[in-house]
Structure 1
Amino acid sequence: MKNLLSPMLLLACIALFSCSKNKKDETMISTISKEVFGEAPDGQSVDLYTLTNANGMTVNITNYGGIITKLTAPDKNGGWTDVVLGFDSLAPYLKDSPFFGALVGRYGNRIAKGKFTLNGKEYTLPVNNGPNSLHGGIKGFDKVVWKATEIKSDSAVGLQLDYVSKDMEEGYPGTLTVKVTYTLDNDNALSINYQATTDKPTVVNLTNHSYFNLSGLKRDILDHEVTILSDSIVPVDSTLIPTGKLRAVDGTPFDFRKPTKINAGINKTEDEQIKNGGGYDHCWVIKRTQPGMMHFATVKDPESGRVLEAFTTEPAVQFYSGNFLDGSLQGKGATYAKRFGLCLETEHYPDSPNHPAFPSTTLNPGDTYNTTTKYRFSVK
């Protein structure tokens, strides 16, 4: 009986292990799903896509404005919590959203007085931010419905968004054909690739405007520790338009070359740039040590242990500390008070079309605009 039982027990153990293994494998598969999110002002149906990687990290993206409505990240206790500001439904995005999670274009950031000259011709844009044009104008890329295509591979899941911006839409010349691809991989990284072509010379500066809060939307971001690999910023006037010169970060509240808490210098209003920005709302010039994709910033929340590492092919990043949030907006159980979120908007410099010395944002026919930014989440 002893000799008979042993093989039977062995077979039972093998079956149990196999069953357990199969169940585990089933949970370790990246998925993408879709649901109706609402209706755009023009009557188009809007969808919400949920991307989930093999670890259980989820990112929600709507084809209205390419908005990231939710992104979960791990903490030191093994939990997954939403770490981006936003809303649970479409209506608040349509009414009064400060670009929460939005895909921004044609031109991210500001263009002075809504005017620029290209090849000797002056173009006039809608003015929507004091005397300036901001983030593409009245109806930028954050306020249109994109064509969505689901993407899936063995190691990642993604969403491709396509949009054709007509010639002179919001004052910009050229018919711009745009493709933006969000990819969530099993390294807990969300990559965003931006591509565009045009039939006439134009200017392009695409970015994403997610507001991150690594506390899990529990408190403001002032205790977050930030590192930015940059020796200089693009100083601005009182309307947040570049002066045209660069400013070294040495000895200023803008020096984040070593991990520094945001609250260490954000209220030093004796610094003219802190005063002009109402805190941090400036473009940092990335100190490049290699071409192509490069790590340029790290954000840590000491209490939760969450870490955000950012990589980009772009020359600069707009670090914004949520200075204009005022508590009037609420979403996902949180009140979005002043400095409740931070942005790392990878980009070319603000107002570049009006500053020939800045890296060019001109796109010509036959060329392809192609940039990528990646946000990777971990725990320390």
Structure 2
Amino acid sequence: MKKIILIFLVVFISCNKNKEFNEIICNVEKAEGLELVYSINGEDFKKRQIQKVKNGKVIFKSFKETTEMGYIESSYNLDKYNNQRRVVRVLPEKNSINLNFNITKDSTEIDSAIFAPIYSFKKIVFTNNGNNKKFQNYYDKKINISKGIYFSYSERDSLNKYVYPEIKRKLLNLYEEKFKESKNEILKIEILSDMLKGFVFESNEDITQEERTKINLFFNKIKIKPNNNSFYKLQEKINEINKIDKNKIEFTEFILEDINHQKHELSKLVEKNEFTVLYFWTAGCGPCRSFNKKLKSKNSILNNNGIEIIHINVDLQKKYWEKATKEDSIFWTNLYAGKNLVLHKKYNIRFWPTKIIFNKNKELIDFEFNEPEDLLKL
């Protein structure tokens, strides 16, 4: 009998060791039957996991090889408001993750003075003493430091001069505190990345030399450089703060599908024109949609002059691209890339639209334009 128990324990431990994933066990209040989604930052959104809340619980899988932040969110929000994500952030852990949260139905402004329902996550508590509990503790303290502080373009100068410096000082002190507490490099990256994404650090010109020195000190103490989205964006921000130009873009080949599922090699599209514009856009980008409408009457003129604009959509879900394509009557070359992390890195896509021009030799052309006809000056 003892031998059987011993064999069972050995098999059980061995199975757990070889398990490729940890469970994310969510205890959810006030959301029975609601459909939730779990996705990994930078991964193809097709790989997302979808579960309904049943008996106050949802369980997702967190695969051990990832170093990326994961997001739990409502399917309803994703379907209705692709550009207004309300999420629970989940860092990878060595063991299973347990957390509790409530879901409430709030309202969001979808247009000027037009509001619609949206689901929000409240009272998020990680019960394991791991990276997520530490990140949530940092995040709660950050929110408390920034409480009552707002961003305004019209008041930007005075805010940067009189209000933000004290907030930045407190946030840098908070990071220093968390840096000393944690031995996990991924956690350090996520906290520093999150902090520098905030609006108080948005203007690189208003970051003082003292602040810059402190930020660089923190960054240089990070011992690893993972190939993940957070580190990439953090590196870009550090380069901007230090005014290092590492954004020289070189042509990189990608094979992407059009609306009819036909595959296209970017190199062949670029080689056939004198000039080719790679126009990266999303369905929720107002200026992009406006440009689409203007291009309808100008496209043939550009083509006759050896210029082609290739639309490349980077929406999280293909259905938003398909809907916008139909609404804007796009008939020119229009490809779908989705949240392709490699493509975003290679072409330095951080906002929409991102416009990149190559000549037929795949050489980058430095030229700014707003209207389609501006390209005739090339």
TM-score normalised to structure 2 length: 0.25
Bigger strand share: 1
**In terms of Rg, which structure is larger?**
2
**Which structure would you say has the larger RCO, counting Cα contacts within 8 Å and 6 or more residues apart?**
1
TM-score normalised to structure 1 length: 0.25
Bigger helix share: 2
